[in-house]
Amino acid sequence: MASINLKTEIPGPKSRALMERRSAAVPQGPFHITPVFAAKAQGPTVEDVDGNRFLDFANGIGVTNTGHNHPEVVAAVKEQTDQYIHTSFNVMPYEPYVEVAERLNQLAPGDFPKKTFLVNSGAEAVENAVKFARAFTKRQGIICFDHAYHGRTYMAMTMTAKTKPYKHGFAPFNPEVYRAPLPYNYRWPGQQGKGDEPTVVAEAFRAFIDVVEGQVGPDQVAAVVIEPVVGEGGFIPVPLQFMKKLDHYCKEHGILLILDEIQTGFGRTAKMFAANHYGLEPDMLILAKGLAGGMPLSAVVGRADVLEGTPVGGAGGTYSGNPVACAAALAALDHYENPETFAHARVLGDVMIKTLNEWFEQYPIIGDHRGLGPMRAIELVTDRESKTPNKDAVGAILKHSYENGVICIGAGTYGNVLRFLIPLTATVKELEEGLSIVEEGIRRLCPVPADV
């Protein structure tokens, strides 16, 4: 096992020097969770420029599900760069793009003909999914949800719920985007503790109907876009019954159901897609992050008739479906299609559930813990009765963690959620080692009574 190994104070001298250069050359917009600069990475670990080694529970914000520098992904990238790096699919097409599309069409749920369109980033895939939906339905309305995060480009940013830092100062936003309440069990109005799920589902669905029928009209809605597990908004799994009601309503009214699986896809929930947990066959899937093992690639996968609703030249881009990224994706898909990959992910998820249950019993600063498979999070509060978000606690735990060799990241509309995005190739021992360091940070804020 590659153990945690810190050789300098954090940040070390080389990282501090690089941060000075970064401050002089790069605008303040791009944020940093840690003050250290990466030098190399392998599997679940990252080494900084000062030789400090960290367990990476941030996973490049859920990108390197295969672990850093997976050997087969690296080999595929090297082999492709020896052939050609770029032609633009719009100028001279190439087989890797077609093969990725074939593989995703086969893997995506749904017993109907499918097609796949490739682009570069999650936000770009979101934007194109909206284009496909509007072109096919000849309708304009897009329904999204509270606590959603769909990206930073203008349509994606409009669909994103959180104002600061994502939307503040960037208005006006795109028209014909409507927002419905998310069935956020822990924070649903009038509910204590975790909340009564059937009540939350019923009330949230009535609120959804009010938005659709009261503000836009179902015959004017092109698509409903939802994350099956809300990512940046706090790792909130959408209740199964709500998703089924949503699916039925969309089918009844000719509305396309689009699942944003940018963060949940490719084993993050211990299945290929979170849709597999729900038994859903969405009209379109939006994919990115884990798709290409660390290379920039995203996709819209969906009904062939929907994606064919855009005319020739109506979708594309210079770098879209870059051949090197496609080669990486094919190697990553080989890894995901190995049954052992998700079997191990389920084991990691079980360890996390057991650990977080124990933390919840010991530390009243944890108001809720939740997730799907190994995609887990804890929500921190000042006290469980008021549920007041405790953003400062997340910052303190993140700092304690990276200063002791574990990289984690926060989440949540209120900034009070600590999320875990462990590489699916991490061992149980590595997971437990990293979690013990995070727990140390929690214990400093919320000591366990002597009689516990």
Distances 426 to 95, 231, 343 between C-alpha atoms, Å: 32, 21, 13
228-241 pLDDT per residue, tens: 999 999 999 999 99
Question: In this structure, what token pair is assigned to residue 338?
Answer: 């190995």
pLDDT score of 447: 72
Question: In this structure, what token pair is assigned to residue 276?
Answer: 């597999």
122-141 pLDDT per residue, tens: 999 999 999 999 999 999 99
Confidence of residue 448 (pLDDT cuts 50, 70, 90): low
Say if residues 173 and 158 touch (Cβ distance below 8 Å).
yes
pLDDT of residue 452 exceeding 60: no
pLDDT of residue 159 exceeding 50: yes
324-380 pLDDT per residue, tens: 999 999 999 999 999 999 999 999 999 999 999 999 999 999 999 999 999 999 999
Span 75-104, average pLDDT: 98
Bridge partners, residue 379, by sequence: 368, 417
pTM of this structure: 0.96
39 Cβ neighbours under 8 A, 6+ residues apart = 47, 48, 49, 51
d(C-alpha 316, C-alpha 119), whole Å: 8
